[in-house]
Structure 1
């Protein structure tokens, strides 16, 4: 499989850590305790993570507009047109439908009229998981090309984050709500073609015993799991994430990295899930690749499943990634799941 092109469309509104803190203060009128102390803690933790700004949609923007821009850009450097795309995969958390798959609705709206469609929902691993599936389908000879799209627009009013998670009730809530304040928005489109079948290598590891650390449960979830006090702490359809515990349970990142038989000297650039620049730098130091890491988190925030493709697109635009470079993708995700992927761009 070869990546023909990757494109990202970022919304226009630039939101600083200071503005996020102001929004929390505005919505937390019923806070019990010292709200100033809590806001200072949040600001300090956001700053320490390496986050400066994130991008959110303005009132004039909609997710479908950004997906349209990303798919147009992804196709612009190829001979392919929407009607020639054979497989359309929608990935990630941001979505407008539980049924049918968002892939069907997006393909219809954007003119991918001949594509077979399905969704992949695997938290922040969704894009990587879809790339692995597409690679396997190509090797089986089922398709010649595919478009992998996400629309991580989770800050829309009434969504899983805003304004509910900005309405803090007490200091203890920070433990399982802080990651909400790192989220940015983006749409990405990745055009892949069935060439060079040995180009990609994927290594995965799972740790489902800590699946309750990061959740967005839907009503009635109790009948589909062994409920714990962590699940749904912020309520049904709300993002609950124990960020500190997630990173404590991420030693498998080093283990899965060790499974990839690529000499460090051959690696040109490393793209990571954008959950924290500080944390990922620490993992990079342990693996001996911190000098090769390309971070977008300080300027975009956590882009969920769009983190890796957005970084690839931005690195390509800036000249940090060139054709022929050996790239690595390194992801830790709710679930928990861990991955390292290697390919020649």
Structure 2
């Protein structure tokens, strides 16, 4: 995590939310449930956050860098177009035996990376796959802060940019051992919703697009609802079997609706949005890192990203 903290009220004060738009300064706190987020400092790069997270993962797992067979970088943020950021991660960590590539799929990228890692281990001799991300999404935030404070943007369509936060995360995956590990993947994409959250760079080096978070969240929950019974049946799990429900998080109301959708109590769905905001691809791995699981626990994971794409999977320890 970057050490710098920026509160939601500081951002709302910066855009003059009350005088410009008639929105209270505590709106992000009260409505979205997002009080603050971590913000990378000058000189931080997506690869740096990813490398720091990967160093922790290697230390915690006892895996040596030379044992890593594949490095997959899954972030939205990147400091260059080519080569893949995974190459820099591989080099800096000393994973000299690893092949490298990037996967990009908005906030859903990390779950795509896990799926690819699983498939690589099944169809090749790969035994250790490093899936990693580093996100500096607040460069988008501050671009839209400047636009919003000067009334050059639509607060309805672009205030979602103020929910973002920076973070790095990493997981090292190995082949399944008995019944432990990822059990089932249920992925679905409905691309007709791609325009709801779309950010592009412009010729001036800034960003164009929109983040219509209310509509995105509503569609996301509905898509999850359409798959959840199929997922439970494939896993042979019931809602009462779930010890934790880890899902992508963009704010308070969608998070609560997701646990209701899965028919599990809110109390078993860990929260990261309150202090970290929407940390995009890092959301699911960071929440997995923070839960206090024990052997035999069942974890239901609900991924999501603009496009719109979702996934549901089971994880047992």
Q: TM-score, normalised by structure 2?
A: 0.89
Structure 1 CA distance for aligned equivalents of residues 152 and 29 of structure 2: 16
Q: Does 1:247 align with 2:217?
A: yes
- Consecutive unaligned residues of structure 2, counting only runs of 5 or more, are none
Could you tell me which of 1, 9, 12 is aligned with 2:3?
12
- Structure with higher RCO (Cα < 8 A, 6+ apart): 1
Secondary structure class of the residue paired with 1:167:
helix
Secondary structure class of the residue paired with 2:23:
helix
Any conservation in 1 of the 2:169–2:286 contact (CA below 8 Å)?
Answer: yes
Any conservation in 2 of the 1:87–1:145 contact (CA below 8 Å)?
Answer: yes
Q: Does 1:21 align with 2:2?
A: no
Any conservation in 1 of the 2:224–2:261 contact (CA below 8 Å)?
Answer: no
Secondary structure class of the residue paired with 1:93:
coil
Secondary structure class of the residue paired with 1:163:
helix
Secondary structure class of the residue paired with 2:214:
helix
Could you tell me which of 107, 110, 128 is aligned with 1:127?
110
Q: Does 1:339 align with 2:314?
A: no
Any conservation in 2 of the 1:165–1:238 contact (CA below 8 Å)?
Answer: no
Structure 1 CA distance for aligned equivalents of residues 192 and 178 of structure 2: 34
- Consecutive unaligned residues of structure 1, counting only runs of 5 or more, are 1-9, 26-33, 221-233
Structure 2 CA distance for aligned equivalents of residues 338 and 331 of structure 1: 5
Q: Does 1:286 align with 2:261?
A: yes
1:294-305 alignment, distance < 5 Å? 294-305=270-281
1:61-80 alignment, distance < 5 Å? 61-80=44-63
Secondary structure class of the residue paired with 1:118:
strand
Secondary structure class of the residue paired with 1:335:
coil
Any conservation in 1 of the 2:33–2:251 contact (CA below 8 Å)?
Answer: yes
Any conservation in 2 of the 1:134–1:146 contact (CA below 8 Å)?
Answer: yes
Secondary structure class of the residue paired with 2:154:
helix
Corresponding residue of 1:312: 288
Q: Please give the per-residue CA displacement for 1:64-91, whole angstroms capped at 9, x wherever unaligned.
A: 4433321121111333211220000000
Could you tell me which of 127, 131, 140 is aligned with 1:160?
140
Distance apart, 1:197 and its partner CA: 7.4
Calculate the aligned-residue CA RMSD, in Å: 2.4
Any conservation in 1 of the 2:132–2:171 contact (CA below 8 Å)?
Answer: yes
Corresponding residue of 2:163: 182
Identify if the C-alpha distance between structure 1 residues 299 and 214 changes in structure 2 by more than 3 Å, giving closer, same or farther. Answer: same
Structure 1 CA distance for aligned equivalents of residues 219 and 307 of structure 2: 11
In terms of fraction of residues, the more helix-rich structure is 2
Secondary structure class of the residue paired with 1:80:
coil
Aligned length: 308
Secondary structure class of the residue paired with 1:160:
helix
1:219-230 alignment, distance < 5 Å? none
Q: TM-score, normalised by structure 1?
A: 0.82
Q: Does 1:270 align with 2:245?
A: yes
Corresponding residue of 1:260: 231
Any conservation in 1 of the 2:46–2:78 contact (CA below 8 Å)?
Answer: no
Corresponding residue of 1:149: 132
Q: Please give the per-residue CA displacement for 1:95-152, whole angstroms capped at 9, x wherever unaligned.
A: 1121111111221222222210011100011000110111111111341110011001
Distance apart, 1:46 and its partner CA: 4.4
